[in-house]
Amino acid sequence: MELLAELSSFCSRNAEPIIIGGDFNILRYANERNKPHGLNRFSSLFNFLIGFYELKEIIMTGGLFTWSNNQEDPILEKLDRVLVSKDWEEMFPTVIVKRLPREISDHNPLILSSGLQKPKIPIQFKFELSWLHNPDFLEAVEKIWAKPCNTRTSLDKIQRKLKLIKQYFKGWGFSLQEELRKQRKLISEKLTNLESFEDLGDLFARQVREIM
């Protein structure tokens, strides 16, 4: 398999800390598939290379599988993963990988976090074209522009009004984005719950088959 040959070549010639992630399209263990007969000869070779080059798979949270064929009785598999070398893990000992819900693709996106805190970025004003389609936008602009403004010249008046508009919409835009983030988070949580139910349902069915 070309992917495994490329993996071996990359690891053998690289002396730097290693992190490799993505869709490997290979199962490592039988429990990474919700139905039987998922392992093949490449699975053993994949595990051999991981052990030989002393790589470690970062444990994934948020679910069991990362791919679905999206059928009524779905096949679920864990095909996506993140592998790191020991020296990379020593640099980022609190690294985590979280599974996000599937939205468009048949694969779940994975997000990797080093666990290090990012510096806070101050809020900056940024005009969004989508505001033009918001029914409250033009009304707010008209109200701000119509307010009396005592300045010496017409140019000063225009600059003052533009500054007031910028100040207002800086907060307005932030509130709008926060509301959109809340809506996206709610939708994401619903998708996550549905996928968790799907994972657990297939896990229960697999255990029943094993008992019988």
Q: For residue 58, which of 118, 103, 135, 112 has the smallest C-alpha distance?
A: 112
Rounded Cα distance, 57 and 78, in Å? 12
Q: Where are the alpha helices (DSSP H) in the chain?
A: 2-13, 41-52, 86-91, 135-146, 154-211
Computed over every residue of the chain, the mean pLDDT equals: 84
Residue 75 has pLDDT above 70, yes or no: yes
- Report the interhelical angle of 2-13 vs 41-52 (nearest 10°): 10
Encode pLDDT of 96-131 as tens digits: 999 998 888 999 999 999 876 666 666 666 778 888
pLDDT at 175: 78
Rounded Cα distance, 187 and 144, in Å? 35
Share of the chain above pLDDT 90, in %: 39
Residue 54 has pLDDT above 80, yes or no: yes
Rounded Cα distance, 67 and 132, in Å? 38
pLDDT at 9: 94
Higher pLDDT, 93 or 149: 93
Rounded Cα distance, 161 and 175, in Å? 21
Residue 57 has pLDDT above 90, yes or no: yes
Residue 146 has pLDDT above 90, yes or no: no
pLDDT at 65: 94
Encode pLDDT of 13-50 as tens digits: 998 999 999 999 999 999 999 888 888 889 999 999 99
The pTM is what? 0.61
